Amino acid sequence: MHRLTFRKPDDWHLHLRDGAHTASIVSATARCFARAIVMPNLKPPITTCAQALAYRERICAVLPSKSRFNPLMTLYLTDNTPKTEIASAHSCEHIVAVKYYPVGATTNSDLGVTDLRRVWQVLEAMQSYDIPLLIHGEVAAASIDIFDREQIFIEQVLDPLLEHFPNLRIVLEHITTQDAVEYVMNSSPYVAATITAHHLLLNRNDLLHGGIRPHHYCLPILKRERHRQALLQAATSGNPKFFLGTDSAPHAQSAKETACGCAGIYTAPAALALYARAFEQAQALDKLEGFASFYGADFYKMPRNTETVTLEKRTWRMPLHFEFGDSHVIPLYAGAEIDWQQVQN
């Protein structure tokens, strides 16, 4: 297969940042995705509907003219989120979900939830309004091995949560382990997962073999090859519980290439091409459309897109860097050949 035309995809997990950084970041995603779920982990985080709508305005203001890209907004759950904010989110068409960061788990999660029991009533409200909870599924305690954090989160936090809220729609975001794949597969239809392109293409050797590669550092951290294989199998299985979420997360070059670098991999400039590479590896290009363009929309109860995109098997070179405010951001595979290219329809 050298040419693929399929329904325009959506990115169900994306970081667009804010301010001077945003313009170039937004246009990379708007080129190939119709909609994206925009993460609220700004500094300070987006905790209210008013903040989410103002942030959405700022994103729309820097969209290329004629773009019909639709940013879908989320609220950042804190110990103090009031139930009334959930009612407001329910009545706002642009706010589609609430994001749960365990405190300290990742970038800008200092105001995340310290203990889920503190937000029990908020979760009850979300369940009754049918607003999905998007989960960064890692425990954060420093004493817990970083490679085990997802698995332990599933046992200690997610499983009890599902027991209490069987009708709360949940997306376990950017899953990285075979344990998460199996857990989601065996859960009710209310539970789904997103999978990033980088977790489909890289394992932990790509982070550490031959030297530390800060541009391959993300959270949850890259895992062993057997976990990558499990993710690849899940993504290409045609199971609608697994769908596309890039978690494209740009940081300035200086914030990555330093003694204590930030987590996040910038994949937006080649997102679809990278998924195509992974699906081709698994000889499953015929499963890409469902994963990228159907299952996420179905889970979020939104219409599937009607436009199409076309990818061709054609080599191009990823630029060494992109503009990022007054700095640069280094994309995944900077300077390397990319074997699929999005072409105009």
Query: Of 10, 11, 179, 247, which residue is the catalytic one?
Result: 247
User: Between residues 247 and 289, which has the closer beta carbon with respect to Zn ion?
Assistant: 247
Q: Is 110 annotated in the active site?
A: no
Question: Which residue ranges make up the site for ligand DOR (CB under 6 A)?
Answer: 15, 41, 106-107, 136, 218-219, 249, 263-264
Q: Tell me, by CB under 5 A, how many residues bind Zn ion.
A: 1
CB of 252 to ligand DOR, least distance (A): 11
Can you tell me the distance from the alpha carbon of 50 to that of 120, in angstroms, rounded to the nearest whole number? 23
Q: Does 10 bind Zn ion (CB under 5 A)?
A: no
Q: Is 5 helix (H, G, I), strand (E, B) or coil?
A: strand
Can you tell me the distance from the alpha carbon of 204 to that of 216, in angstroms, rounded to the nearest whole number? 9
CB of 112 to ligand DOR, least distance (A): 11
Query: Are 249 and 218 within 8 A, CB to CB?
Result: yes
User: Between residues 179 and 247, which has the closer beta carbon with respect to Zn ion?
Assistant: 247
Query: Are 92 and 53 within 8 A, CB to CB?
Result: yes
Sequence-distant contacts of 148-156: CB under 8 A, at least 24 apart: 149/105, 149/220, 150/175, 150/176, 150/177, 150/179, 150/180, 150/220, 151/177, 151/179, 151/180, 153/102, 154/179, 154/180, 154/183
Q: Does 150 bind Zn ion (CB under 5 A)?
A: no
> Within 13 Å, how many C-alpha atoms sit on residue 226's CB side?
2
CB of 183 to Zn ion, least distance (A): 19
User: Between residues 7 and 256, which has the closer beta carbon with respect to ligand DOR?
Assistant: 256
Query: Are 104 and 110 within 8 A, CB to CB?
Result: yes
CB of 196 to Zn ion, least distance (A): 9
21 binds, among ligand DOR, Zn ion, none (CB under 5 to 8 A by kind): none
Q: Six-digit token pair at 209? A: 């073999």
Contact positions with Zn ion (CB under 5 A) in 211-250:
247
User: Between residues 7 and 21, which has the closer beta carbon with respect to ligand DOR?
Assistant: 21
246 binds, among Zn ion, ligand DOR, none (CB under 5 to 8 A by kind): none
* Selection from 25, 41, 109, 123 nearest residue 75 by Cα: 41
CB of 176 to ligand DOR, least distance (A): 11
Classify residue 101 by burial, with Cβ atoms within 10 Å: 0-12, 13-18, 19+: buried
Dihedral of CA 313/248/201/338: which sign? positive
* Selection from 42, 40, 16 nearest residue 29 by Cα: 16
User: Between residues 59 and 311, which has the closer beta carbon with respect to ligand DOR?
Assistant: 59
Residues that bind Zn ion (CB under 5 A): 247
The residues that are catalytic are 247
